[in-house]
Amino acid sequence: MFSCEVYHGALFLDRPAINVPFDEAQLARVRDHYGIRYMTISLSDLRSRLPAWETRPPAWAGLAAQISPDSLRRSFPSAAAMDLDEVRIYRLSAARGEKD
């Protein structure tokens, strides 16, 4: 799984996590090398790292879920006073020729 907050991604989703690269080509290269199939990212991080993805992610990255700040606050009461952002989870397809 890719995550901007690697520790949080690994802790909350119980998966190994790698930091999201700042460039789509690097992201695809690391995805293929490690077989990464998910990316979790806040809307503000998406805007700074992969701005084109806000309105149109590449064909190999399907939006799997959007989690609102209110939903995060309900799920994690300790975060009630935090300034939270929407979180998006993308399902990443395998490179051509690989099994998904």
pLDDT tens, 27-86?
Answer: 999 999 989 999 988 899 899 989 999 899 999 999 999 989 888 778 777 766 677 788
Is the pLDDT at 22 greater than 60, yes or no?
Answer: yes
3-state secondary structure of 7: helix
User: Which has more confidence, 24 or 80?
Assistant: 24
Nearest to 49 by CA among 100, 88, 16: 88
Q: What is the mean pLDDT of residues 9-34?
A: 83
- Dist. CA 79–CA 53, nearest whole Å: 27
Is the pLDDT at 9 greater than 70, yes or no?
Answer: no
Task: Report pLDDT for 75.
Answer: 79
- Domain spans of the chain? 2-92
- Answer yes or no: are the C-beta atoms of 41 and 2 closer than 8 Å: yes
Per-residue confidence at 7, pLDDT binned at 50, 70, 90?
low
